[in-house]
Amino acid sequence: MRSESVNLLNEVRADVWLWAARFFKTRSVAKQAIEGGKVDVNGGSCKPAKTLHAGDRLKISRGEERFEIEVVALAERRGPASDAQQLYRETEASRMAREAAVAQRRLIGANAPSSRPNKRARRLIRALGDIDAF
């Protein structure tokens, strides 16, 4: 068994790197995201077995989050989050757009009801519904 450090790798599969960089929880979820068109490499589509090199640019869509990153280092093994953050560099535009989207979701969520109606509120709702029956 050979031990490979992060800097000695020349190329890594895209799904393995996305898993090692902690963008997805499992390699199979990373593979599904790539097959679903959620990951672009250097402006083009990608397949799970595509090899990544240092300097490649990725666009990753994960739920409502959008990342634009540059691959700085390669890894085949998943390690601590602090090590995973050293594998890529996010663009300033991407970071600003994500922060703006989070702020907007917070504002939208502020208008939403905080919890389910309690027993008293449910009875009032039912009583108002009965008024329409007449």
Number of domains in the chain: 1
Q: How many CB atoms lie within 10 A of CB 98?
A: 16
Distance CA 114, CA 5 (A): 48
What are the tens digits of pLDDT across the range 34-89? 999 999 999 999 999 999 999 999 999 998 899 999 999 999 999 999 999 999 99
pTM of the complete model: 0.75
Own/partner contacts of 106-111, CB < 8 Å, gap of 24 or more, are none
Q: For position 17, which CATH number holds?
A: 3.10.290.10
User: Which pLDDT value is given to residue 106?
Assistant: 86
Whether the predicted pLDDT of 119 surpasses 80: yes
- Inside any domain, residue 22: yes
- Inside any domain, residue 104: no
